Amino acid sequence: MRVGLSSRRGLWAAVALLLFIASACASDPDTPPLAAAGDEDSAEADEAVIAEQPTATPDPTPTPRAVVDLASLPAAADDASFPEGVNPDYPVGAYGFTRYVWTSGSAGVLPTLVEGPRGQQYRCQDLDLPCSYNELKALHESGDPIPPELGMTDAELAELVDQLDTVRATVESMASPDDVCAAGYSRSSSQNPNMGIHMVNAALIGDGFDPAHPEILLLAHEGGEALLQSEIGECVDGSWTGDPAFEVVGAAFMLPMTPEHPEGFAGPIDNWHVHYNTCTGANSESGNLGDPAKCAAEGGRFMEVLPVWMMHAYTNPDYDSQEGVFAMFNGAIWPLSDGGSIQTERTEADFNGSRLQTIVNFEIGTVTARPGEQIVFSNGDSVPHTVTSSEPDAPGAFDTGVLGGGQTWAGTFDTPGEYQVFCSLHPQMTGTVIVEE
């Protein structure tokens, strides 16, 4: 799906009035989606030799080889768009972890999220890396070498920490929900899992990127439990009417949608996102309504695209996000999650009896299935990948063929065992398929 930039700009003024993010950032499908990809880096490889797509792999006969022109694969026209002509039958991608997300809903499988620039991204979400605000600040103060996975220089880290300190100062200046209301913010979301509630200041929308003046503040309930919308409260005449036990834990930023990924914080680890097919202002606890009729019935306004780039920044030290300072989801916010469990829950899923496995930022990962259970591989990156047996002549060998943006491959494994796989286009990418009773 692609929306012309002229119409995007026209929608920008509307966004300031109807926001949002209640449903948009909340997009938390009952079935976590999986990955999708395909684009500009494909020009680096003119062609690749791949196998035709199999349907099952107990003891397959080697399939004929074919030449595929990678440049012919579907590609996104710009950073804010989905690959043209890709309509997957399965959910594809994972909110907060992959570049593209297609979500399954009452209206079918729809494109719902684009996140980060095209190509390989720097996603500082590994629990073993210094990715949270506290950890980045400590790394800067220590003078230790910066891990290469962060992709930044000492100067960029220093600037980033200074920017995050500015966000923290704004967060700490709001000691209560009353302070947030008095500063011109109003509630625009329900209590979203691992995010809290969103409070938007419409007067700040469209004034550019300023760490000291975030368009959105994120508040979490101090008790850690969930509340119904009716129990949360509202800003009325600059005062908070509801439960006072909310604390500002971070901020979110909004910039007008442009073709290219925005320049915001220093360094490359701030991956901004754009929401598609979302319902704003709905009277629904889930807020995840991809159907225009259902959205209207819930009192919301359906938008094919919210014409803004958005991103979270968790800077309250007491709610330090081990998933990364710019993560979409924070395990320190209700529902409290152990390290790594959020990514596992959102990147591993089942759909209509199939086991879904996503390729996440040049990582195939490990998938476990039962004999005969269908496995669906989907490409969550913006460049083509394959999932290919490391031992092509061994029993159970297979090759998905080249998977471009949003493309999937489905097959079954009838023989228990452990199968090593890799990407023939990017051999450093490896993974494992485990088939067990």
Q: What is the pLDDT of residues 334-371, one digit of tens each?
A: 887 766 667 666 666 778 889 999 998 999 999 999 99
No. of H helices and E strands in the chain? 7, 21
| Rg of the chain, C-alpha, whole Å | 22
114 forms beta bridges with 100, 274
How far are the Cα atoms of 277, 280, 384 from residue 411, in angstroms, in the given order?
Answer: 30, 38, 19
Cβ partners under 8 Å of residue 353, min gap 6 = 373, 374
Q: Which amino acid is at 358?
A: T
Both tokens assigned to 397: 């060998």
Per-residue pLDDT of the chain (437 residues; tens, 9 = 90+): 433 333 333 344 444 444 544 444 444 433 333 233 333 333 333 333 333 333 333 333 333 334 467 778 888 999 999 999 999 999 998 888 899 999 888 778 999 999 999 998 999 988 899 999 999 999 999 999 999 999 999 999 999 999 999 999 999 999 999 999 999 999 988 788 899 999 999 999 988 999 999 999 999 988 667 777 778 899 999 999 998 999 999 999 999 999 999 999 999 999 999 999 988 766 654 445 567 888 888 777 888 999 999 999 999 999 999 999 999 999 999 887 766 667 666 666 778 889 999 998 999 999 999 999 999 999 989 999 999 988 766 666 789 999 998 999 999 988 899 999 999 999 999 999 999 98
| Residue 328 CB coordination number (10 Å) | 28
**How is the chain split into domains, by residue range?**
5-30+126-346, 40-72+352-435
* 386 in Cβ contact with 424 (< 8 Å): yes
Place of tokens 């012309």: 4
Instruction: Please count the CA atoms within 13 angstroms of the CA of 117 that sit on its side-chain side.
Output: 14
DSSP 363: -
CA 123 to chain CA centroid, nearest Å = 10
192 forms beta bridges with 196
* 271 in Cβ contact with 121 (< 8 Å): yes
CATH topology of domain 40-72+352-435: Immunoglobulin-like (2.60.40)
